[in-house]
């Protein structure tokens, strides 16, 4: 009861802050030079999916472009687009309103000093705070998708920003997820040359990494959401089956320091400790180098899974059904296998009605191993 009251109070305060921000927009001291803005303050995996569309936008639409992004993706953005200016939002409203205030402060001076000619919004759904910040930019032309099937937390009264050219969120896709098709539809409202899926394949900057000898299985056991994570005991069982069938392989387990407890638990369930090691890459760029050097990839639907697919690495990617088709699966070749136990409740937007994500927990370790075995025999010889 107390927790529910606290959430209600917190939501009310958040709504009041957003209302006040609409009234208290930054004082207008616009610069004389017009710029173009891509608004994409997302996680690394989402940014990687948008990378091909961003590249084509820069190629086909000359001028000074600025990417509004989160700190999480800024390093990767610098590696991929060294000439693209970045406006880094120092915070996110994903966690709490206090963190969102950092986002507001970091955007305020930018909105005061830049005259925005074109704004392309590469967001699948806008929160109330997104609406506030986009309203501050006051672009001459703005385009984004509307009608996203993915819900957002902020209520209707705070979704006030109106795109001058809105594109219905796509319902059909090809090899790439719906998210990519939504982005290219936005760019097509700005350009006279129609982008197609083949133009917008996700990509990475050049990644160094000598192929490991002996062969390595790269395992990323956890993502940031428990609803995307295959149970560690089942994942370890699949890896143990693989290690028995392929004694020449070493196993490298990767994650961040915040994953240390889970990685230690997982490694404790690996039978042959002499062929196993845990590593903590210091950046997503370093993680990409480790993936490139490996012979086979195993992981959840997260940024490393997208990197493995971009690199066309043989890999088994375990995919939960929360946003199925919007961000994954995507097909680069037959060298990636996206595994999931499809259920009628797919597309739940992570509002799982069960005590656990059955769309992945119903997969058996034997099923995971069989996919790994097939790829090891046919793709890594």
Note the pLDDT tens digit of each residue in 325-370: 999 999 889 999 999 998 999 988 888 999 999 999 999 999 999 9
Which of 291, 231, 294, 290 lies closest to 265, judged by CA? Answer: 231
The predicted model gives 13-25 an average pLDDT of 68
What does residue 349 show for φ and ψ, rounded to 5 degrees? 55, 40
Instruction: Report yes or no: 134 and 39 within 8 Å, Cβ to Cβ.
Output: yes
DSSP sequence for 138-177: --SEEEEEE--SS--SS-GGG-----SEEEEPP---SSS-
- Statement: residue 247 has pLDDT above 90: yes
> Residue 278's beta-bridge partner residues?
253
Q: How far apart, in whole angstroms, are the C-alpha atoms of residue 247 and residue 319?
A: 27
Q: How far apart, in whole angstroms, are the C-alpha atoms of residue 56 and residue 40?
A: 15
Domains of the chain and CATH, by start = 2-199 (3.40.50.2000), 216-378 (3.40.50.2000)
Q: How far apart, in whole angstroms, are the C-alpha atoms of residue 203 and residue 310?
A: 6
Q: pLDDT band for 206, please (50, 70, 90 cuts).
A: confident
């Amino acid at each position: 009861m107390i927790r529910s009251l606290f959430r209600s109070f917190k939501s009310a305060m958040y709504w009041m802050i957003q209302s006040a921000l609409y009234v208290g927009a930054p004082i207008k001291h616009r610069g004389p030079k017009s710029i173009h803005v891509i608004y994409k303050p997302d996680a690394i995996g989402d940014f990687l999916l948008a990378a091909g569309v961003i590249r084509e936008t820069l190629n086909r639409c000359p001028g000074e472009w600025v990417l509004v992004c989160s700190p999480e993706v800024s390093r990767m953005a610098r590696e991929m687009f060294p000439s693209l200016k970045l406006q880094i939002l120092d915070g996110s409203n994903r966690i709490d309103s206090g963190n969102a205030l950092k986002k507001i402060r970091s955007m305020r001076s930018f909105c005061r000093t830049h005259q925005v000619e074109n704004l392309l919004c590469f967001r699948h759904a806008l929160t109330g705070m997104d609406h506030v910040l986009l309203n501050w930019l006051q672009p001459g032309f703005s385009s984004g998708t509307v009608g996203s099937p993915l819900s957002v937390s902020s209520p209707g009264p705070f979704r006030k920003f109106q795109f001058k050219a809105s594109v219905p969120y796509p319902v059909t896709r090809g090899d790439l997820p719906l998210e990519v098709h939504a982005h290219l539809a936005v760019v097509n409202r700005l350009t006279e040359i129609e982008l197609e899926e083949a133009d917008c394949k996700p990509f990475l900057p050049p990644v160094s990494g000598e192929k490991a000898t002996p062969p390595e299985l790269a395992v990323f056991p956890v993502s940031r959401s428990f609803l995307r994570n295959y149970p560690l005991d089942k994942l370890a069982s699949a890896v143990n089956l693989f290690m028995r069938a392929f004694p020449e392989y070493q196993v490298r387990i990767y994650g961040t320091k915040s994953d240390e407890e889970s990685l230690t638990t997982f490694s404790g369930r690996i039978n042959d400790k002499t062929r196993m090691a845990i590593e903590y890459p210091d950046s997503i760029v370093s993680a990409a180098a480790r993936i490139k050097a490996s012979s086979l990839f195993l992981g959840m639907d997260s940024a490393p899974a997208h990197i493995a697919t971009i690199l066309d690495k043989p890999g088994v990617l375990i995919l939960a059904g929360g946003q199925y088709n919007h961000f994954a699966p995507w097909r680069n070749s037959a060298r990636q296998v996206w595994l999931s136990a499809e259920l009628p409740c797919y597309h739940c937007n992570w509002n799982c009605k069960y005590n656990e994500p059955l769309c992945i927990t119903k997969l058996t370790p034997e099923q995971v191993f069989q996919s790994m075995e097939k790829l090891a025999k046919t793709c890594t010889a």
